[in-house]
């Protein structure tokens, strides 16, 4: 059981990462996925697409690590050097790997593409390498031993890396025969900030057990809270902390694992046999898009309306010209009429309507950039609210769209308590 | 003039970066800022907040670089080790630096905060260090020489780093007396893959000049091609390569710099005083959302329709029930009627309509997952096409939405040549 922890290093390659044109999020993803099987990355090195530099780093790393994961450089272009570098350091030739070639051929066939020479380069692997399946991309990953060190080569395209890591994590978890790994429990929340969540926990739960490590990952729009323990002996403690957090954060918790707001809303709608429609001005289709990203969303979402201009609010949703003239497009009366119009047009049970000022232009002293009116719910029980998110346009749209979905979630669950963002994002 | 390029390395410290809880964007910022003065970072190493690891990395780096920039570890807590590590490697003691202390005192006074012991720790610098001003935070940066290497220590808080880099870039630019920097020219393309672009260039331009470095960044949906040269002497060569690429890739080039498809489409619409509307089934609002992300989009985009269900296609866009019954929702006839209905409802000049099978469910032998019909253009000159993108749901939506925008771009430009994806993504 008291097996030594494997020493794991990452080698990242890519001129676009060195130049800062791309922010590397892959190494964070790798670290998080390895943490699931209690493996810690203790060092990472990044260099550009340079043969000599890559060879020197790899040779040094392999001499000091049990596992090296290389990320990037698997593509078809001349600046993709990983296979060649690994072959050189290992002192073996490159040769066309039948399994990699078969994968490429199938990949091209499915897409009706010719297998050209540049693509075919991706089947050239160091002799003796084991193929690691790439479920979504053209270039397979591969593994080769350098002395006592396992070198795993993975693609730089984030979606491909993500898909490949499932296999790698399963394989490493199995082959390293780790003692029962780190148990991680994740909660998805909306409407909580990192520092306020931390403060709430410190204040309310001063006796937090040290065995249950607490982590926060603030994304836009959701924040993830992670409860992590090193040993399964502490599972009851983890469960207890989980219950305490649910009590503390209440209905700001959307769900466990990777639950996304749109997914949760669709699930609740389907359970109740209800449908939802959207009437969007400032979010411009983003709420509809978040919903329809979810497979199977067509069951509960049939229609959405992007009514950006005033005359469209009238012609498509039946908002009265007089209402627009008297109150302006960003007003309680207009979002109410938008929601009712959308409900009628779509024949839906629930609606969410938003109208606001996304900026950077269009603000006024009375209605500054960031102001937004929302209306949501069923026709006979429509609720409205004015909030203010004075942030950059795209983040404003993301947060407002998520708030709309969150308010529908709350309505579907029959929650009556106010979310924290009602007071924190109150329009002045 | 032919001064040797300074060798610059970055040393990043922080447990939250190693664990993947935080994605490091600081190193990208540093690289981009240094590129302004033609300085290239060629290697970066990241380790956790560990005294021994940091000392070993720093000693090795300083022996192989002219400039080392350390980022992180300047804060008030016990895991902030940078000053101590640098002092140890330099063999000097830590001592309270009057200038750093004065900065701290003023920082606290402005904020009406007491100067506590934890904060005061931030005035302890390696003896002989030069202070680098921190215009926004409590901890100053500092510089010390290790042999022939300049070591610059910077804060991990992104806003503080950003503010401090102004001074650092000005100082390095001045003290290194650099010649004019690397000239970078970027082209944004849609409808080209990395491998086909590489293949086309290798085939058509075998005499590519080695002074003009070529880079590709495949994103979804666009691909960027970067032409980079080290010396302004080669600007004419770069221009020549640029012209050759435009000739080679023709109308697959959307624009230069950071140009996004939606932005380009809106620009073309505005130049012509025209408006666009969207009728989306399988993309579910994504096209509208891409358009409305762009500030000022309301000028040319007034209305969008998400008609996910068949009866909504009829009630909202006037698609005839008979057309749906005879041809199915994913058909040329239906997207044509969707486009015409949207044009009429929105009173717009141009429309894009899409109906397809995003999957993972809903495919059939005749219309497999990935099949999509598009209709686009003006009412009197509507074009239609069936394509097939058999990829994961969310990527399918992204690529189809972008194709829709690209087809409008082509229509607005009056282009008559077919894009490559018409043949490569042809539905069978």
Domain CATH for B244: 3.30.70.2860
Report how far residue B71's alpha carbon sits from residue A47's, in angstroms, rounded to the nearest whole number: 17
Establish if A116 belongs to a structural domain: yes
**A97 versus B424: which is more confidently predicted?**
A97
- CB of B56 less than 8 A from some CB of A: no
Residue B359 lies in a domain: yes
Q: B residues 289-348 near A, CB within 8 Å?
A: 289, 291-293, 295-298, 301-309, 311-312, 315-316, 345-347
* Residue range B347-375: mean pLDDT, rounded: 94
B17 within 8 A of A30, measured Cβ to Cβ: no
Contact B40 A32 (CB under 8 A): no
Q: Is the same domain home to B75 and B218?
A: no
Beta strands A276-280 and A301-307 are parallel
- Give the angle subtended at the CA of A284 by the CAs of A280 and A290, to the nearest 5°: 85
CA of B96 to nearest chain A CA: how many angstroms apart? Answer: 31
- Among residues 237-296 of chain B, which lie with CB inside 8 Å of chain A? 278, 280, 282-289, 291-293, 295-296
Asked whether the beta carbons of residue A296 and residue B361 sit closer than 8 angstroms, the reply is: yes
Overall average pLDDT of the A350-375 stretch: 94
Nearest to B21 among A47, A215, A286 (CB): A215
* Whether A306 and B304 lie within 8 Å, measured CB to CB: yes
Indicate if the pLDDT at residue B103 is higher than 90.
yes
From B141, B176, B211, the end of a domain falls on B176
Q: Is the distance from CB of A331 to CB of A339 less than 8 angstroms?
A: no
Q: In the prediction, which pLDDT does A4 show? A: 67
| Nearest to A298, CA basis, from B147, B311, B199, B66 | B311
The phi and psi torsions of A172 (rounded to 5 degrees) equal -65, -45
- Which tens digits make up the pLDDT trace of A217-269? 777 899 988 888 877 777 889 899 999 999 999 899 999 988 999 999 999 99
d(CA B393, CA B374): 17
pLDDT computed for residue A391 by the predictor: 82
pLDDT for res B2: 35
B219-230: string of b/e by CB count within 10 Å (b at 16+)? eebbbbbbbbbb
What are the backbone angles phi and psi of residue A294, rounded to the nearest 5°?
-85, 125
Question: CA B400, CA A379: separation in Å to the nearest integer?
Answer: 34
In-domain check, residue A3: no
Whether residue A349 is predicted with pLDDT greater than 90 in this model: the reply is yes
Do B26 and B126 fall into the same domain?
A: yes
Claim to verify: residue B166 and residue B189 sit in the same structural domain: no
| pLDDT range class, residue B199, cuts 50, 70, 90 | confident
Do the chains contact at B20 and A30, CB–CB below 8 Å?
yes
Percent of chain B exceeding pLDDT 70 equals: 97
Whether residues B306 and A296 touch (CB distance < 8 A) is answered with no
Q: Which residue has the higher pLDDT, B405 or B162?
A: B405
Q: Which region among A272-276, B195-199, B248-252, B313-317 has the lowest average model confidence (pLDDT)?
A: B195-199
Beta bridge partners of B151: B68, B144
Mean pLDDT computed over every residue of chain B:
91
pLDDT for residue A177: 61
- B160 in the same domain as B52: yes
In a domain, A2, yes or no: no
- pLDDT at residue B220 is higher than 80: yes
Residues B269 and B251 in one domain: no
> Cβ contacts of residue A237 below 8 Å, gap of 6+?
A209, A211, A212, A229
CB distance A289–B292 less than 8 Å?
A: no
Q: B12 and B147 share a domain? A: yes
**Has residue A125 got a pLDDT over 80?**
yes
**Residue B365 lies inside a defined structural domain of this protein:** yes
- Residue window 161-200, chain A: list those with CB within 8 Å of chain B: none
Domain assignment present for residue A161? The answer is: yes
A38, A232, B22, B142 alpha-carbon torsion, rounded to 10° = -80
On chain B, the residues whose CB falls within 8 A of the CB of A44 are 18, 45-47
Query: In this structure, what is the dihedral angle of CA atoms B239, B243, B248, B251, given to the nearest 10 degrees?
Result: 120
Q: What is the pLDDT of residue A179?
A: 52
Structure confidence by residue, pLDDT tens digits, A325-348: 999 999 999 999 999 999 999 999
Six-digit token string for B83 = 């000053």
Spatial separation of the C-alpha atoms in residues B388 and B330, rounded to whole Å: 12
Q: Which helix (H) or strand (E) holds B46?
A: strand B41-47
The answer to whether residues A136 and A210 belong to one domain is: no
Number of domains in chain B: 3
Question: CB A76 to CB B17 under 8 A?
Answer: no
Token couple for B255: 């624009």
Chain A residues close to B305, C-beta within 8 Å: 303-306, 316
Residues A208, A88 share a domain? no
CB B353 within 8 A of CB B339: yes
B204 touches chain A (CB under 8 A): no
- Do A44 and B45 count as a contact with CB atoms less than 8 A apart? yes
Q: Secondary structure of chain A in the HEC alphabet?
A: CCCCCCCEEEEEECHHHHCCCCCCCHHHHHHHHHHCCCCCEEEEEEECCCHHHHHHHHHHHHHHCCEEEEECCCCCCCCCCHHHHHHHHHCCCEEECHHHHHHHHHHHHHCCCCCCHHHHHHHEEECCCEEECCCCCCCCEEEEEECCEEEEEECCCHHHHHHHHHHHHHHHHHHCCCCCCCEEEEEEECCCCHHHHHHHHHHHCCCCCCCCEEEEEECCCCEEEEEEECCHHHHHHHHHHHHHHHHHHHHHEEEECCCCHHHHHHHHHHHHCCCEEEEECCCCCHHHHHHHCCCCHHHCEEEEEEECCHHHHHHHHCCCHHHHHHHCCCCHHHHHHHHHHHHHHHCCCEEEEEEECCCCCCCCCCCCCCEEEEEEECHHHCEEEEEECCCCHHHHHHHHHHHHHHHHHHHHCCCCCCCHHHHHCECC
Q: Are A154 and A132 in contact (CB under 8 A)?
A: yes
Contact B389, B396 (CB under 8 A): yes
Check pLDDT > 80 for residue B111: no
The domain spanning residue A371 has which CATH number? Answer: 3.90.950.20
Q: Is the pLDDT of residue B325 over 70?
A: yes
Contact assignment for B42 to A47 by CB distance below 8 Å: yes
Residue A174 has pLDDT above 90, yes or no: no
Mean pLDDT, residues B94-106 taken together = 93
The residues with which A146 forms a beta bridge, in sequence order, are A149
Nearest to A29 among B20, B30, B316 (CB): B20
A25 contact residues in B (CB cutoff 8 A): 23
- B47 pLDDT band (50/70/90 cuts)? very high
Residues A285 and A341 placed together within one structural domain of the fold: yes
The token duo for B356 is: 């397809």
What was the pLDDT predicted at A136?
87
Q: Which of B21, B45, B288 sits opposite A285 (nearest CB)?
A: B288
Q: Does A79 touch chain B (CB under 8 A)?
A: yes
Residues B280, B305: contact at Cβ < 8 Å?
yes
Select the residue from B9, B53, B284 to test the A interface by mutation, using most A Cβ atoms within 10 A.
Answer: B284
| Percentage, residues of chain A above pLDDT 90 | 66
- Are B272 and B298 in contact by the 8 Å Cβ rule? The answer is no
The stretch B293-313 carries a mean pLDDT of 96
Instruction: Please report whether residue A1 resides in a domain.
Output: no
Q: Which of B176, B196, B222 lies at the terminal end of a domain, its last residue?
A: B176
Owning domain of residue B417:
261-424
Task: Look over chain A and give the mean of its residue pLDDT values, rounded to a whole number.
Answer: 91
When pLDDT is averaged across residues A111-138 and rounded to a whole number, the result is: 89
Q: Residues 383..422 of A with a Cβ closer than 8 Å to B: which?
A: 393-394, 397
Query: Tokens 């000028």 label which residue?
Result: B299
Q: Which of B294, B216, B156, B168 is nearest to A21 (CA)?
A: B216
The pLDDT value given to residue A22: 84
CA distance A397 to A289: 12
Out of A163-177, A272-286, A362-376, which region has the weakest mean confidence (pLDDT)? Answer: A163-177
Chain B residues in contact with A302 (beta carbon < 8 A): 308-309, 311-312
Q: What is the 3-state secondary structure (H, E, C) of A159-201?
A: HHHHHHHHHHHHHHHHHCCCCCCCEEEEEEECCCCHHHHHHHH
A64 in contact with chain B, both atoms CB, cutoff 8 A: no
Question: Which residue of chain A has the CA closest to B38?
Answer: A19
pLDDT digit string, tens, across residues A23-32: 899 999 999 8
- Please give the residue that has the higher pLDDT: either B178 or B63: B63
Q: What pLDDT does A210 receive? A: 85
CATH classification of the domain holding A102:
3.40.980.10
Same domain, A214 and A314: no
Q: Is the same domain home to A194 and A293?
A: no
Q: Is the pLDDT of residue B266 over 90?
A: yes
Residue B391 maps to a domain: yes
Which candidate in A122, A306, A307 is best for mutational testing of the B interface (most B CBs within 10 A)? Answer: A306
- Domain end (from A147, A175, A203): A175
The pLDDT assigned to A5 comes to 78
The minimal CB distance from A217 to the residues B21, B202, B361 is found for: B21
pLDDT at B178: 57
pLDDT computed for residue B185 by the predictor? 87
The answer to whether residues B286 and B393 belong to one domain is yes
A276-280 sheet: strands from edge to edge = A383-388, A371-377, A350-356, A276-280, A301-307, B301-307, B276-280, B350-356, B371-377, B383-388
């Amino acid at each position: 059981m008291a097996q030594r922890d494997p020493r794991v290093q990452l080698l990242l390659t890519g001129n676009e990462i060195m130049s800062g044109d791309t922010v590397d999020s892959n190494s964070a993803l790798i670290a998080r996925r390895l943490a699931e099987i209690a493996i810690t990355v203790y060092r990472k090195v990044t260099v550009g697409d340079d043969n000599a530099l890559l060879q020197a780093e790899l040779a040094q790393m392999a001499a000091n690590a049990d596992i090296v994961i290389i990320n990037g450089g698997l593509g078809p272009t001349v600046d993709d050097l990983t296979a060649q570098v690994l072959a050189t350091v290992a002192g073996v030739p490159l040769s066309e790997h039948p399994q990699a070639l078969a994968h490429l051929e199938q990949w091209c066939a499915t897409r009706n593409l010719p297998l050209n020479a540049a693509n075919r380069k991706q089947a050239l692997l160091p002799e003796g390498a084991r193929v690691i399946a790439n479920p979504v991309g053209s270039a397979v990953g591969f593994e080769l031993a350098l002395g006592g060190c396992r070198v795993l080569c993975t693609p730089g395209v984030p979606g491909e890396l993500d898909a490949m890591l499932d296999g790698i994590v399963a394989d490493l978890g199995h082959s390293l025969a780790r003692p029962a790994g780190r148990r991680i429990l994740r909660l998805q929340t909306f409407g909580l900030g990192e520092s306020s969540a931390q403060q709430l926990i410190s204040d309310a739960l001063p006796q937090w057990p040290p065995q249950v490590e607490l982590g926060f990952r603030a994304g836009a729009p959701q924040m993830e809270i992670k409860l992590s323990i090193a040993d399964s002996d502490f599972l009851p403690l983890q469960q207890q902390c989980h219950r305490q957090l649910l009590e503390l954060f209440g209905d700001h918790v959307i769900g466990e694992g990777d639950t996304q707001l749109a997914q949760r809303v669709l699930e609740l709608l389907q359970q109740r046999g209800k449908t939802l429609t959207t009437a969007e001005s400032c979010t411009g289709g983003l709420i509809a898009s978040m919903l329809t990203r979810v497979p199977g969303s067509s069951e509960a979402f049939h229609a959405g309306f992007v009514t950006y201009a005033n005359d469209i609010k009238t012609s498509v949703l039946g908002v009265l010209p007089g209402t627009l003239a008297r109150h302006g497009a960003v007003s309680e009366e207009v979002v109410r009429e938008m929601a009712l119009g959308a409900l009628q047009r779509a024949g839906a049970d629930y609606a969410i309507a938003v109208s606001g000022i996304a900026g950077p232009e269009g603000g006024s002293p009375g209605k500054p950039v960031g102001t937004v009116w929302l209306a949501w719910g069923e026709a006979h029980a429509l609720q409205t609210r004015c909030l203010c998110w004075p942030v950059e346009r795209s983040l404003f749209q993301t947060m407002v769209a998520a708030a709309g979905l969150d308010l529908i979630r709350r309505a579907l669950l029959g929650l009556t308590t106010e979310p924290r963002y009602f007071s924190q994002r109150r329009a002045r």
